[in-house]
């Protein structure tokens, strides 16, 4: 009998749209499931969006 290793987490793609959907779903589950962390998740999500916008702008303005 041959051993099957099962699902490997390092083989699941998390780039692009699937990764974005995974992050949004995880964020929503935490928001819905743990009421004490709602304020923290909202603030950190907003800070993450602002940081992503700054990085996007910075990388597009500093072309070689």
Task: With respect to residue 1, please indicate whether it lies within any of the assigned structural domains.
Answer: no
- Whether 33 is in a domain gets the answer yes
Cα–Cα dist 22/5, whole Å: 23
pLDDT for 63 beyond 70: no
Tell me the residue range of the domain where 48 lies.
Answer: 9-61
pLDDT tens digits, 17-47: 888 888 888 878 877 888 777 788 788 889 9
Question: What total number of domains does the chain contain?
Answer: 1
Given a cut of 70, is residue 51 above it in pLDDT?
yes
> pTM of the entire structure?
0.46
In a domain, 25, yes or no: yes
Predicted confidence at residue 50, as pLDDT, reads 97
Whether residue 3 lies inside any domain: the answer is: no
Q: Which residue has the higher pLDDT, 2 or 52?
A: 52
Helix axis angle, 38-61 relative to 16-33, nearest 10°? 160
Q: CA-CA distance, 7 to 3, in Å (whole number)?
A: 13
């Amino acid at each position: 009998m041959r051993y099957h290793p099962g699902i490997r987490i390092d083989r699941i793609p998390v780039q692009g749209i699937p990764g974005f959907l995974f992050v949004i779903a995880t964020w929503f589950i935490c928001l819905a499931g743990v009421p004490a962390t709602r304020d923290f998740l909202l603030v950190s999500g907003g800070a993450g969006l602002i940081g992503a916008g700054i990085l996007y702008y910075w990388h597009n303005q500093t072309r070689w």
